[in-house]
């Protein structure tokens, strides 16, 4: 007979094909058939039978899940993150991403939050991401489950399994900088024009989304750097430069950047006299909608806001900038790193040929004559 942490036991008598579940509720012994012939299926059935029995002994507030009128999982996660005052905004944003993974896995809502299903979630995620990421997701899930139980949304605290110490998960090597789409300047302008000037979220009443992405494209800076900019520390009204400090740059490279007129206009439109200029914001939905409106479908499906950095690097080189200059602007201490962000394009090749006098196969230019060596 297998004993489980939930408080029930599974057993199968000789001559029977199905498993029985046995447990006690309020001192009363209960034994029921799971109707399942395999241990895994019996575990799932037993969890539900046990949960139903426990829920019938709980106050009315804790019976909502059994009646099916519990709030949707996505709403509960949002309420949890909004009411947990111990979380800083950055952590809450990351955990909201974790919550999206939970919603995709536990499609039936809270009733699917069982030990077996959580273990299945862990195993599936280990096949997609690193073990360290899965440990963080499961840690957040434990905290959510405890919160939901205290609020009466869950009848019991579901045990969340740990990640085996020997597990490494799956690295994202195949996803790193994979084929950032080749975007023209005209396509970028169309994309920015398709963004709303202001957007909203549950955490921010009004967010200058168009100005934020205009600045990201004009400077080529990392999204994390854009989010951390403050006035007057990094920029003040009337300034034509952006002063980056070590703490806002991933490479910890404090430097002064020249700003384009469009970048200055974007900052002037939304920067406060003092404080964070942009901050964190969930803009994925807006970016996806703008990409769908402005770009070909094959390109829009792959586009993310981070691709503006690659596009800007490519466009600067096409316009005649040197690789070291682009590396300085985008924040790469090694020029070789910048080369990984730049797309090899026909436009760049054509511009290069024009710069040396049009010595190409389909131009009217003439190739330089080779000097003949005179033999002594």
What pLDDT band is residue 68 in, cutting at 50, 70 and 90?
Answer: very low
Per-residue pLDDT of 290-341, as tens digits, reads: 999 999 998 888 888 889 999 999 999 888 889 999 999 999 888 888 887 7
d(CA 36, CA 241): 69
- Overall average pLDDT of the 8-16 stretch: 76
User: Do 242 and 259 touch, CB atoms closer than 8 A?
Assistant: yes
pLDDT (0 to 100) of residue 57: 56
* pTM exceeding 0.95: no
d(CA 158, CA 345): 54
335-339 contacts, C-beta under 8 A, 24 or more apart:
338/313
6 pLDDT above the threshold of 80:
no
Phi and psi at 65, nearest 5°, equal -65, -45
For the domain made up of 185-339, give the CATH fold: hpI Integrase; Chain A (1.10.443)
45 pLDDT above the threshold of 80:
no
- Overall average pLDDT of the 236-259 stretch: 92
Per-residue pLDDT of 77-103, as tens digits, reads: 888 988 887 877 778 878 888 888 898
Question: Highest mean pLDDT range out of 28-32, 283-287, 359-363?
Answer: 283-287
Please give the full DSSP string across 186-211, using - where no structure is assigned: HHHHHHHHHS-S-B--SS-S-B-HHH
pLDDT (0 to 100) of residue 78: 84
2 pLDDT above the threshold of 50:
no
Per-residue pLDDT of 157-207, as tens digits, reads: 999 999 988 888 877 544 444 467 889 999 999 999 999 998 865 555 678
- Overall average pLDDT of the 60-68 stretch: 42
Q: Give which of 277, 279, 222 is closest to 252, Cα–Cα.
A: 222
Supply the mean pLDDT for the chain: 80
Domain ranges of the chain: 2-57, 73-150, 185-339
Per-residue pLDDT of 262-301, as tens digits, reads: 999 999 999 999 999 998 887 888 888 999 999 999 888 8
- Taking the chain, what is the end-to-end CA distance rounded to the nearest angstrom? 99
What pLDDT band is residue 1 in, cutting at 50, 70 and 90?
Answer: very low
What pLDDT band is residue 52 in, cutting at 50, 70 and 90?
Answer: low
pLDDT (0 to 100) of residue 64: 44
Dihedral angle of Cα 188, 191, 193, 197, to the nearest 10 degrees: -120
62 pLDDT above the threshold of 50:
no
217 pLDDT above the threshold of 60:
yes
């Amino acid at each position: 007979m297998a004993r489980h942490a939930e408080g029930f036991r599974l057993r199968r008598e000789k001559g029977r094909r199905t498993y029985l579940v046995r447990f006690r509720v309020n001192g009363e012994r209960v034994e029921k058939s799971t109707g399942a012939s395999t241990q895994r299926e019996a575990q799932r059935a037993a969890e539900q039978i046990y949960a139903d029995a426990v829920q019938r002994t709980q106050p009315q507030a804790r019976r909502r899940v059994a009646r099916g009128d519990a709030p949707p999982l996505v709403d509960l996660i949002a309420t949890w993150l909004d009411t947990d005052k111990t979380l800083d905004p950055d952590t809450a944003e990351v955990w909201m991403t974790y919550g999206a993974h939970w919603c995709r896995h536990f499609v039936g809502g809270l009733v699917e939050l069982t030990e077996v299903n959580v273990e299945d979630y862990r195993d599936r995620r280990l096949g997609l991401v690193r073990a360290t990421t899965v440990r963080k997701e499961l840690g957040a899930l434990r905290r959510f489950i405890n919160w939901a139980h205290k609020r009466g949304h869950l009848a019991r605290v579901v045990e969340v399994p740990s990640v085996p110490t020997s597990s490494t998960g799956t690295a994202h090597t195949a996803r790193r900088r994979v084929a950032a789409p080749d975007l023209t300047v005209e396509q970028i302008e169309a994309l920015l024009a398709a963004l709303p000037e202001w957007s909203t979220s549950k955490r921010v009443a009004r967010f200058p989304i168009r100005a934020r992405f205009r600045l990201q494209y004009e400077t080529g800076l990392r999204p994390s750097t854009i989010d951390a900019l403050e006035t007057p520390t990094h920029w003040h009204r009337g300034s034509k430069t952006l002063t980056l400090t070590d703490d806002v740059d991933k490479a910890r490279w404090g430097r002064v950047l020249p700003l384009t007129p469009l970048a200055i206009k974007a900052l002037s439109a939304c920067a406060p006299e003092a404080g964070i200029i942009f901050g964190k914001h969930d803009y994925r939905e807006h970016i996806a909608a703008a990409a769908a409106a402005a770009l070909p479908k094959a390109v829009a499906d792959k586009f993310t806001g981070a691709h503006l950095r690659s596009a800007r690097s490519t466009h600067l080189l096409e316009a005649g900038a040197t690789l070291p200059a682009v590396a300085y602007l985008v924040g790469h201490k090694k020029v070789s790193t910048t080369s990984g962000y730049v797309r090899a394009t026909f436009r760049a090749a054509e511009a290069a040929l024009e710069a040396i006098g049009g010595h190409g196969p389909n131009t009217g230019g003439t190739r330089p004559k080779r000097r003949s060596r005179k033999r002594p």
